[in-house]
Structure formats: structure tokens, C-alpha cells
């Protein structure tokens, strides 16, 4: 059984899931497809979710300023790095004996919520004119992304061992 593999690290599996989410759904090709008005309806739940998946987008666009490209890419990179960090730090030893339980699922989900929120907050600090309001709004958007997408990372961490 894939989820109960005793060789799978919960931190590694969650980090790989976060990396795949950011690489696939944050890609310029997916972002262009989802933001094209004919492909998704932003006023439907499905269209809204498909657009939300593209939140930590990354791109290589020569028309944008270097600062905007770096901040956009920094947010995507930070989501993956902070997800790995929070997956390692959050559950710790309390889940070492609780492999495969709902607490492990919620720990992975919560780690992704924190990762999205902190990635947005930190990336906002590198904008041209950062403000406290823009940082708080960005952190709220990152938390929203982590809340609605983080269950995928939570599922990936199920059954993995903790060091």
C-alpha cells in the first residue's frame, strides 16, 4: 500500500506534493490557461478553485521589471521551502507514534496554510513600496490558498514516518 509505506517520510512526501503543486499549477502555461476567460468561470466554485491553484505562480517574462519577476518567483519558491520547514517542525515527536492518523493529515494541512501565508508575507516585503496593509492582505491570500489547497499536502503526509 503506497500510503502506508514505512520508508516514506511525511516531510519528504509533503514537500514533494507542495513542489508538484507549485510546478504544475503555478506554471505560466497553467496560469495563462486558467486566466483565459473562456476556460474557467471565476463566478463558479470550480473556476474559482482552478484559479486559486495558480496563486503561487512563477514566470519568466521579459516585459516585467526584474523586481516583479523575482517577487513572483520568490513567493513560489518560499511556499515549497516553508512547507518543508513547517512539515518538519510542526508535528515533531507527538506524531511519531500516530502514523496515518487524522492528526498527521491536519499537521500537513496546517503546515501548508502557514507556508502559504508566510511566503506571501515575506515576498511582499520585497515589493517596491511595501506597506503593512499590503503585507497583511497578501498573508491572508496565502492563508486562503493554503487552506483550500493544503488538504492535498495533508493527504500526501499520511502514513509517513517522522524522524
Tens of pLDDT along 8-60?
788 888 999 999 999 999 998 998 899 887 788 888 898 899 999 999 888 87
Q: Cell 520585497 belongs to which residue?
A: 126
pTM, 2 dp: 0.84
Looking at residue 38, the DSSP 8-state letter turns out to be: T
Residues 6+ away with beta carbon under 8 Å from 103: 91, 94, 95
Q: Cell 496565502 belongs to which residue?
A: 142
Cα 65 to Cα 23, 24, 127: the distances in Å are 22, 24, 11
Residues 6+ away with beta carbon under 8 Å from 144: 52, 116
Averaged pLDDT of the chain: 84
Among 61-65, 91-95, 133-137, top mean pLDDT goes to 133-137
- CA 88/CA 81 separation, integer angstroms: 11
Exposure string (b/e) for 63-73, b if CB count within 10 Å is 16 or more? Answer: eeeeeebebbb
In this prediction, residue 133 carries a pLDDT of 92
In this prediction, residue 98 carries a pLDDT of 55
Amino acid at each position: 500500500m503506497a500510503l502506508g509505506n514505512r520508508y516514506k517520510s511525511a516531510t519528504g512526501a509533503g514537500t514533494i506534493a507542495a513542489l508538484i503543486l507549485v510546478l504544475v499549477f503555478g506554471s505560466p502555461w497553467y496560469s495563462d490557461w486558467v486566466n483565459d476567460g473562456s476556460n474557467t468561470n471565476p463566478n463558479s466554485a470550480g473556476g474559482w478553485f482552478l484559479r486559486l491553484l495558480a496563486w503561487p505562480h512563477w514566470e519568466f517574462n521579459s516585459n516585467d521589471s526584474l523586481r516583479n519577476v523575482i517577487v513572483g518567483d520568490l513567493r513560489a519558491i518560499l511556499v515549497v521551502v516553508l512547507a518543508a520547514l513547517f512539515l518538519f517542525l510542526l508535528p515533531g515527536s507527538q506524531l511519531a507514534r500516530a502514523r496515518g492518523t487524522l492528526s498527521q493529515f491536519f499537521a500537513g494541512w496546517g503546515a501548508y496554510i502557514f507556508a502559504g501565508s508566510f511566503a506571501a508575507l515575506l515576498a511582499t516585503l520585497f515589493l517596491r513600496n511595501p506597506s503593512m496593509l499590503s503585507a497583511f492582505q497578501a498573508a491572508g491570500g496565502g492563508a486562503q490558498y493554503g487552506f483550500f489547497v493544503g488538504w492535498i499536502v495533508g493527504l500526501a503526509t499520511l502514513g509517513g514516518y517522522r524522524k
